[in-house]
Amino acid sequence: MRKKSYLCTLYRAVQVTEHLRQRILPDPSVYAKQPRYTLHVPPNPIVEIYLIIAISLLLGALMEASGRSRMLCRVALVVNVLLITAVVGLRYHTGADWSMYILQYRVLNSTGEVYEWEPGFFALMHLFRAMTDNYYVLQFFVAAFTIILSAHYYRKHSEYPVFCLALFYFFFFNNLLMAQLRQAIALGIIVCSVRYVYDRQFVRFCLMVLLASLFHFSAIIALPLYFCASDWKKVINIVVLTISELFALFPDLIAGALKWLMPFMPSLLSSRTDDYMSDADFSGAKEFNTGLYTLIAFAIVIFMIFYIRPRNRKENFAINTLVMAMAIKNISLGFAILERFQPYYIVFGLVAYGYLFRIHIPVAWQHLYFRLGTCVLLFAFFFTPYITALRSTAIDPLTNRPMNYSLVPYYNAISHPRIAEGRKDWSQ
> Does 311 have pLDDT greater than 70?
yes
Digit-coded pLDDT (tens) for 373-393 = 999 999 999 998 888 888 888
Task: Give dist(CA 353, CA 297) in Å, integer.
Answer: 11
Q: 406 pLDDT exceeds 90?
A: no
Phi, psi of 159 (to 5 degrees): -80, -10
DSSP 342: T
The C-alpha atoms of residue 73 and residue 158 are separated, in whole angstroms, by 12
Rounded to whole angstroms, how far apart are CA atoms 121 and 97?
Answer: 15
Beta bridge partners of 395: 402
| pLDDT for 121 beyond 60 | yes
- Across the chain, mean pLDDT equals 80
**pLDDT digits over 324-351, tens only?**
988 888 777 656 667 788 899 999 999 9
E-strand stretches of 6-139: none
Q: Which of 20-29, 196-205, 393-402 is the least confident region?
A: 20-29
**Closest alpha carbon to 121 in 188, 220, 216:** 216
Distance set, CA 233 to CA 203, 236, 239, 296, 362 (Å): 26, 5, 10, 22, 28
Per mean pLDDT, which of 2-16, 138-152, 236-250, 408-422 is the most reliable? 138-152
